[in-house]
């Protein structure tokens, strides 16, 4: 059954309200620079470190906005969601801060670190198979049983408005940005970035970076319509999900371009960032840098914001240790 | 032959001069906090992140102070040193910035990442065996051959004054500190910390943290005289060297206490920091947190600066991967 509710597209006023609402629950994350990467690319890169964010990822912004925007009556039933990881633990964190129940459906293949973190914040996990179809089917059961408010990981105006606060901070922290790049999976961060930039910094180009092995957004962007894959395989476990109508709205209207990187390029960029910047970040966060390194001409001489989206990684199974 | 030159003990004026001298060449590193660790310890911890420092460690402060304080005539002959790693690459970095030669003696067992970094900055490495006696013997040859200015990794007033700028920044960044803790190897960072605190924040207790497997500073502190081991074995590769007269001066006069941690405790604290704070740091930097976790009573309810001294680690051989 198709949902016929007209889609609400959040505005920058929603972003301002979200920022006030979530401020007590999130970090204003630092922006780091690296002369090594600046010289390597020939650009000025500003890394917005959401890996240092509460719950270890930017997703806590959207999750907190949704949870703390609920009425008392809604909140009493709790919240539920499906997620490859960071949204699950962000929603668990937010629900824990408000003291309400949180049920999440996660692929059984999600990183153990993320499952542990969800449980650490008090979330209850139901596992599904690692495919969009399985995840949505299992979730329907969980939601029916709990009656909790569904907070979609990205196709939700409350979530997009929350994620948009990240770019707002970045603009306050770095003057004269020419461009910003973030990973794209379902498109929540990119949509929030487009929302903020189009409202208060329309001259800033928004680029999205995607694993070549899960390049549904890239193909959608080129085709002019949503193309969804069911179960792509990539080391960037946060980026396997497809665009939905709300995020497609922002991607199709505001994104300047989408670049892709191979698995090898992603792992190499991830390891190089750990080595040179001394920060722990997820494979998903390495995709923007991997695409910058192979598209230097696009970025040369420009001031570029790079959103490091999260740092929840299994330290026992680092991708360069495999094989 | 014993050196009979009276030891010069640097003053806080030397620290102020050092800070002006090195400012163009170093980062003012950020201070991070972690509500997880605060709750775990029952204290407020402020992590001074010298792992984000230029060349990846605090040692670049002392190295830059020494290199940029040289006369033109001295500088023309270059600099030389022996070091377990971070001082070697810091001195190479500083010499590279000034455009002068740098020769370093390093143990053949030093982490490959550190050797690569030294060469990346233009330093020339001569290897020695992993013992104090071998290192000093090989170094004497290298110094005789090159005639370069010897910049000792810690027993040098220029170096101690440079390291002292770290605590000066910490005091500017965090109000109302009660205590500060840093790792102790040769004692350069601890000496600099004592120098700054005793001069401008005498109420702040200075604690040192040391691997139990290389606890010569602990035993020296308890015995009231320098006790040196020749070749201790610890995962904290930066902390194997013994105290010398200048650093012993500060340790014996200003350090409140020295705590030790086992190899297992160090690795556990290191991994936990990577996991919860999303920062890459060396085993040596985990020693303070490891000792805090086992001496919570000392730190409970206090505002404590924790100096994260460096982040130059071999990502291919992480200590929890071994065995």
Query: Could you tell me the pLDDT band of residue A2, with boundaries at 50, 70 and 90?
Result: low
Which pLDDT score, from 0 to 100, does residue B1 have?
46
Inter-chain residue contact B315 with A316, CB threshold 8 Å: no
Give the three-state DSSP class for B134. helix
Residue A4 has pLDDT above 70, yes or no: no
Partners of residue A208 on adjacent β-strands: A182, A258
Report the gap between the CA of B321 and the closest CA in chain A (Å): 7
Query: Could you tell me the pLDDT band of residue A1, with boundaries at 50, 70 and 90?
Result: very low
Which pLDDT score, from 0 to 100, does residue A81 have?
96
Inter-chain residue contact B52 with A315, CB threshold 8 Å: no
CA torsion A192-A194-A199-A202 (nearest 10°) is 150
B253/B242 Cα distance (integer angstroms): 17
A67/A69 Cα distance (integer angstroms): 5
Q: Give how far Cα A226 sits from Cα of A216, A229, B160, Å.
A: 8, 10, 61
pLDDT per residue as tens digits for the range A110-119: 888 789 889 9
Name every residue whose Cβ is closer than 8 Å to that of residue A58 and which is 6 or more positions away in sequence.
A50, A86, A163, A166, A189, A307, A309, A310
Give the three-state DSSP class for A60. helix
Backbone angles phi, psi at A182, to 5 degrees: -145, 160
Which pLDDT score, from 0 to 100, does residue A323 have?
46
B63/B154 Cα distance (integer angstroms): 10
Q: What's the CATH number for B12-57+156-321?
A: 3.40.50.1100
Report the gap between the CA of B278 and the closest CA in chain A (Å): 4
Give the three-state DSSP class for A104. strand
Which pLDDT score, from 0 to 100, does residue B5 have?
67
Secondary structure letter of residue B242 according to DSSP: P
Chain B contact present for A322, CB below 8 A:
no
Residue A39 has pLDDT above 90, yes or no: yes
Which pLDDT score, from 0 to 100, does residue A112 have?
83
Chain B contact present for A311, CB below 8 A:
yes
CA torsion B166-B169-B171-B173 (nearest 10°) is -130
Name every residue whose Cβ is closer than 8 Å to that of residue B74 and which is 6 or more positions away in sequence.
B149
Find the mean pLDDT for residues A119-139. 92
Closest by CA to A313, choosing from A213, A237, A240, is A237
Inter-chain residue contact B281 with A278, CB threshold 8 Å: yes
Which pLDDT score, from 0 to 100, does residue B136 have?
87
Question: Radius of gyration over alpha carbons of chain B, in Å?
Answer: 18
The fold of the B60-150 domain, in CATH, is Rossmann fold (3.40.50)
- Is residue B68 within 8 A of residue B323, CB to CB? The reply is no
Residue A210 has pLDDT above 80, yes or no: yes
Reading the block at residue A49, the tokens are 């470190």
Which pLDDT score, from 0 to 100, does residue A195 have?
98
Q: How far apart are the first and last CA of chain B?
A: 44
Which pLDDT score, from 0 to 100, does residue B111 have?
81
Count how many pairs of residues, chain A against chain B, have C-beta atoms within 8 Å.
Answer: 51
Query: Could you tell me the pLDDT band of residue A64, with boundaries at 50, 70 and 90?
Result: very high
Give the three-state DSSP class for B207. strand
Reading the block at residue B309, the tokens are 């001294």
Reading the block at residue A63, the tokens are 């999750």
Interface of A with B in 41-60 (CB under 8 A): 49, 51-52, 56
Q: With contacts defined as CB-CB under 8 Å, which chain A residues touch B52? A: 32, 277-278
Closest by CA to B164, choosing from B307, B12, B7, is B12
- Is residue A196 within 8 A of residue A12, CB to CB? The reply is yes
Which pLDDT score, from 0 to 100, does residue B130 have?
86
Least confident segment among A51-60, A70-79, A227-236, B194-203: A227-236
Find the mean pLDDT for residues A243-267. 97
What rounded mean pLDDT belongs to chain A?
Answer: 94
Residue A292 has pLDDT above 50, yes or no: yes
Q: Do domains A12-57+156-321 and A60-150 have the same CATH topology?
A: yes
Name every residue whose Cβ is closer than 8 Å to that of residue B6 and which is 6 or more positions away in sequence.
none
Nearest CA in chain B to A319: B316
Q: What is the DSSP string of B63-103?
A: HHHHHHTS-HHHHHT-EEEE-SSHHHHHHHHHHHHHT--EE
Report the gap between the CA of B285 and the closest CA in chain A (Å): 13
Report the gap between the CA of A65 and the closest CA in chain B (Å): 21
Low-confidence ranges of chain B (pLDDT < 70): 1-6, 322-323
Domain spans in chain B, listed from the N-terminal domain onward: 12-57+156-321, 60-150
Inter-chain residue contact A280 with B274, CB threshold 8 Å: yes
């Amino acid at each position: 059954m198709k949902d016929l509710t007209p889609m609400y597209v959040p505005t920058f006023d929603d972003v301002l309200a979200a920022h006030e609402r979530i401020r007590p629950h999130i970090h204003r994350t630092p922006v780091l620079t690296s002369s090594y990467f600046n010289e390597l690319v020939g650009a000025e890169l500003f890394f917005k470190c959401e890996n240092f964010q509460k719950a270890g990822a930017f997703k806590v912004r959207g999750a907190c906005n949704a949870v703390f925007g609920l009425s008392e009556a809604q909140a009493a039933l709790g919240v539920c969601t499906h997620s490859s990881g960071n949204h699950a633990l962000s929603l668990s964190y937010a629900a824990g801060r408000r003291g309400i129940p949180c049920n999440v459906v996660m692929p059984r293949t999600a990183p153990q670190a993320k499952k542990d973190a969800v449980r650490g914040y008090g979330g209850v996990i139901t596992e599904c198979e690692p495919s969009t179809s399985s995840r949505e089917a299992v979730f329907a059961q969980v939601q029916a049983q709990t009656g909790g408010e569904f907070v979609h990981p990205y196709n939700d105006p409350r979530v997009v408005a929350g994620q948009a606060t990240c770019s707002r901070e970045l603009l306050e922290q770095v003057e004269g940005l020419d461009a910003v790049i973030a990973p794209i999976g379902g498109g929540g961060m990119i949509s929030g970035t487009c929302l903020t930039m189009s409202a208060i910094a329309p001259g800033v180009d928004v680029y999205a970076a995607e694993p070549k092995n899960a390049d549904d957004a890239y193909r959608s962007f080129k085709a002019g319509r949503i193309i969804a894959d069911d179960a792509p395989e990539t080391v960037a476990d946060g980026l396997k999900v497809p665009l939905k109508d709300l995020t497609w709205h922002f991607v199709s209207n505001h994104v300047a371009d989408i670049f892709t990187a191979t698995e090898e390029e992603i792992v190499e960029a991830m390891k190089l960032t750990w080595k040179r910047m001394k920060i722990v970040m997820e494979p998903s966060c390495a995709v923007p840098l991997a695409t910058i390194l192979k598209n230097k001409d696009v970025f040369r001489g420009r001031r570029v914001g790079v959103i490091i989206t999260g740092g929840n990684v299994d330290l026992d199974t680092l991708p360069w240790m495999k094989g």
